[in-house]
Chains A and B, each alone.
Chain A
Amino acid sequence: MSQSPIDSYVMEMNRSLSGPRRLKADLLLEARDSLDDAAEAYREAGYHHTEADSMALADFGTVPEVAPAYQRELALAQARRTARWFVVLMAAQMFLADESWQSTGAWSDRDPAPLYLVFTRFWDYSQLIFVIVAVGALFTFGLGVRYVSAPWRFARVTGMVTLSVLGLKALASAVFLMATPHLASGMVSSISLTRPGSLLTLVGLAIWVLPNWYVAISAVRCIAISTARRLGTTDLSRRRSAL
């Protein structure tokens, strides 16, 4: 069975849009419904099936013309998702990390070096700043959309900042791991096939590391789908300003 022009159009839209799956499906479904309604109205007005489809598509606009406006909504949703999970991740791990250097047991018989304390204090404050920045981003893409005229402009920056902070976080974790006596070696030695606690250690590590990967993937998607080429410039706005 051959595809109708409307089927081909919706498939082309599907290929040209990227972003959260559910929102994209919802947008495409609504576009499809509208095209079907328009084609049906033209058929009822006496036009031939093929002609009615073509006229409905002409009214709807070409894919290069309308896709950027759809992509902006998708970029915004992806940025909101990235910012939301970034806030949750940073807040949770900041809370968990607060006492972690003391709870390692590495300092039970001696005091940490002053530089070590400076580093942990510096990292505590940095994490707090990251959480504040992430809350700011979340506001921009949530309630703040009323106060920001084109919030999708910040979607790409959100992805880049998130990735940069995650990189810094990985670096700080590596420094912490190396600077804390016996921490890395203790973790390695606690993972053994013969030790029943190994599984718990591995699950704990996964809980610590996997959310970082999830947020990093969301940030990469945010960057990829928010390019200037995808979001367009002023094509529809020009037509809108004609009002």
Chain B
Amino acid sequence: MRQIDDDFLALPLRRLADAALQRARELGAEHADFRLERIRAETLSLYDARLEGAADADDLGYAVRVVKGGTWGFAAGIDLTPEAAARVAEQAVRVAEVSAPINREPIELAPEPVHGEVTWVSSYDVDPFDVPSADKVALLADWSAGLLKGADHVSARLLQVKEQKFYADTAGTVTTQQRVRVHPVLNAMKASETGFDDMSTIAPPVGRGYEYLTGTGWDWAAELAALPELLAEKLAAPSVEAGDYDLVIHPSNLWLTIHESIGHATELDRALGYEAAYAGTSFATFDQLGELVYGSPLMNVTGDRTVEHGLATIGYDDEGVQGQSFDIVKDGVLVGYQLDRRMALMKGLGRSNGCAFADSPGHMPIQRMANVSLAAAPGGPSTEELISGVERGIYIVGDKSWSIDMQRYNFQFTGQRAYRISHGELAGQVRDFAYQATTTDFWQSMERVGGPQTYVLGGAFNCGKGQPGQVAPVSHGCPSALFRNVRILNTVQEGGK
């Protein structure tokens, strides 16, 4: 197991925390927590195998969050001295005082066992920041050059993040954590007499190190070798005929549908209206907990912060709650929400299931998404077997465009490629497709769920939510699955052409 970097541990973590928490106590805060973070991110961008842009940035700072007189107060600072940390605590208390006249709901937090002093490091082999940038650029350039043999243009991008967090609260929990994640993606573009199109790799972003690019966790050689021919087939493909089809959806596309139509819809802060003015609310309102028929009886969905290589996986959340796994949809029925400590207590749900997260030291933790995943069917079918059960359908691979309404009813997604299914067999690619549905109709139409052999952990680095806006990484595992009678649009016709 990897260790937390020495240069992070060398920062005056405990001294700053002690100064801030002590000052918050002196000023009468009922609760206070201190969080220091260093987040390093490197992005490398190539176009046609040449370096287009490189950015190596970090963020370092700390925050003090208090509950004073039943009102939140939050302040963030950057000076790494105990005196400055104490002043930030004073600012947090002052923010609570200024805000008190507009607060009508006293803040109380669900109890969490005190975990003492603990550390956690994510599962990875090679720290991507230990690899020289020139080597990474050379690898991406080599991959790009290969693709350029069958494409007009190729873009390549590698995002790498290392997140280090120190947290301490007035109850006595002290956590020090470190995790890394990487996301390589290549896009091949080509023009023909029928127009211009592109195709991206479907390799998901992962909570792994640089080993992900060198043979662990993904077969890059196979995917890159196949991409030019897939793109050529797409360029020559006919435009899809709009109508209702049975869909077989590959995990590389279905993860995003899960994210938008289940992940966000089962965030309790949305269901309670705290995101109403921005990200929106949820059709899955709290009064329907235990009753809402979300999908077919084959639908089992969990929230999880423990799965190895998951992007939302962490030892302890940003309120000191230990990472857990919990049910959200069981046998097609809504049975749980994603929580933080305040909402868990307010709604009588007991302990928080550990979904508080802040994306930077300057932002207050809010409830963010766990790795929300659809369970595979034990002994379930392969993707080919799912396709074989379709008379007239579409098979969709890879994510692309996505949009869903503010209550998570109506969505529309496209993909990297789609194939017509005729009499149980693939019958070539089609272009200009999008699928459009209402969330519960869609999940209730899920007739077959693929087996574990089809299961893939997909995800994204950049799930947005909250004001000020915050981005969070999150994974979603799922198998291939079969959905009956889903509306397919022709996007050219939608554009009025």
The answer to whether A binds B is no
